[in-house]
Amino acid sequence: MERDPFDWTDDEARRRERSGLVRTLRPRPAESGLLDLASNDYLGLTRHPAVTGAAAEAARRWGAGATGSRLVTGSTELHADLERELAAFCGFEAALVLSSGYAANLAALTALTARDSLLLSDAGNHASIVDGCRLSRAETVVVPHAEPEAVRKTLDAHAGRRALMVSDAVFSVDGDAAPLGELAEVCRTRGAALLVDDAHGLGVLGAGGRGTPDAAGIAGASGVVATVTLSKSLGSQGGAILGPARVIGHLVNAARTFIFDTGLAPAAVGGALESLRLLRREPARADRAREVARTLHRLLTGAGLTAVRPDAAVVSVRAPSPEAAVRWAAECRAAGLLVGCFRPPSVPDGVSRIRLTARADLTDQQIGTAVDTIVSLAPGDAS
Ligand SMILES: Cc1ncc(COP(=O)(O)O)c(C=O)c1O
**253-263: per-residue pLDDT in tens?**
999 999 999 99
- Could you give the CA distance from residue 221 to residue 125 in angstroms, rounded to a whole number? 22
pLDDT band at 382 (very low <50, low <70, confident <90, very high): confident
When the pLDDT of each residue in the chain is averaged and rounded to a whole number, the result is 96
Contact 290, 297 (CB under 8 A): no
- Which part of the chain is CATH 3.90.1150.10? 29-47+283-376
Residue type, 315: V
Ligand 1 pocket member 117 (CB < 6 A): no
199 alpha carbon – ligand 1 mean position (Å)? 6
Q: What is residue 237's three-state secondary structure?
A: coil
157 alpha carbon – ligand 1 mean position (Å)? 31
* Nearest atom, ligand 1, residue 126 CA: 1
Q: What is the mean pLDDT of residues 39-59?
A: 97
**Whole-number percent of the chain with pLDDT over 70:** 99
171 alpha carbon – ligand 1 mean position (Å)? 11
Protein residue with its CA nearest to atom 16 in ligand 1: 172
Protein residue with its CA nearest to atom 10 in ligand 1: 101
Tell me: pLDDT of 228 over 90: yes
Report the half-sphere exposure of 17 (CA within 13 A, side-chain side): 6
The string of pLDDT tens digits covering residues 120-177 is 999 999 999 999 999 999 999 999 999 999 999 999 999 999 999 999 999 998 999 9
pLDDT band at 297 (very low <50, low <70, confident <90, very high): very high
**Whole-number percent of the chain with pLDDT over 90:** 91
* Nearest atom, ligand 1, residue 168 CA: 1
* Nearest atom, ligand 1, residue 103 CA: 11
Q: What is residue 238's three-state secondary structure?
A: coil
Q: What is the mean pLDDT of residues 265-281?
A: 98
Lowest model confidence (mean pLDDT) among 73-77, 212-216, 318-322? 318-322
Q: What is residue 140's three-state secondary structure?
A: strand
Q: What is the mean pLDDT of residues 80-106?
A: 98
* Nearest atom, ligand 1, residue 230 CA: 10
Q: What is the mean pLDDT of residues 325-354?
A: 90
Q: What is the DSSP letter of 210?
A: -
Q: What is residue 267's three-state secondary structure?
A: helix
Q: What is the mean pLDDT of residues 267-284?
A: 98
Question: From the centroid of its chain, how far is CA 128?
Answer: 9
Tell me: pLDDT of 4 over 80: yes
Tell me which residue of 319, 323, 335, 315 sits closest to 383, measured CA to CA.
319
- Which part of the chain is CATH 3.40.640.10? 49-281
Give CB contacts under 8 A, 24+ apart, made by 294-300: 295/358, 295/364, 295/367, 296/356, 296/358, 296/367, 296/370, 296/371, 299/367, 299/368, 299/371, 300/371, 300/374, 300/375
Ligand 1 pocket member 154 (CB < 6 A): no
Q: What is the mean pLDDT of residues 217-240?
A: 98
- Could you give the CA distance from residue 194 to residue 155 in angstroms, rounded to a whole number? 12
372 alpha carbon – ligand 1 mean position (Å)? 30
Ligand 1 pocket member 174 (CB < 6 A): no
Tell me which residue of 152, 175, 218, 227 sits closest to 197, measured CA to CA.
227
229 alpha carbon – ligand 1 mean position (Å)? 6
Ligand 1 pocket member 310 (CB < 6 A): no
Q: For residue 141, what pLDDT is reported?
A: 98
Lowest model confidence (mean pLDDT) among 265-279, 308-322, 334-348? 334-348
Tell me: pLDDT of 1 over 80: no
* Nearest atom, ligand 1, residue 128 CA: 4
4 alpha carbon – ligand 1 mean position (Å)? 35
Other beta carbons less than 10 A from residue 69's beta carbon: 15
Q: For residue 160, what pLDDT is reported?
A: 93
Q: Which CATH architecture has domain 49-281?
A: 3-Layer(aba) Sandwich (3.40)
Q: For residue 381, what pLDDT is reported?
A: 72
Ligand 1 pocket member 83 (CB < 6 A): no
**In 273-332, beta strands by DSSP E:** 314-318
Q: For residue 383, what pLDDT is reported?
A: 65
Let me know if domain 29-47+283-376 sits in CATH 3.90.1150.10. yes
Sign (positive or negative) of CA dihedral 11, 16, 18, 24: negative
322 alpha carbon – ligand 1 mean position (Å)? 22
- Could you give the CA distance from residue 36 to residue 16 in angstroms, rounded to a whole number? 27
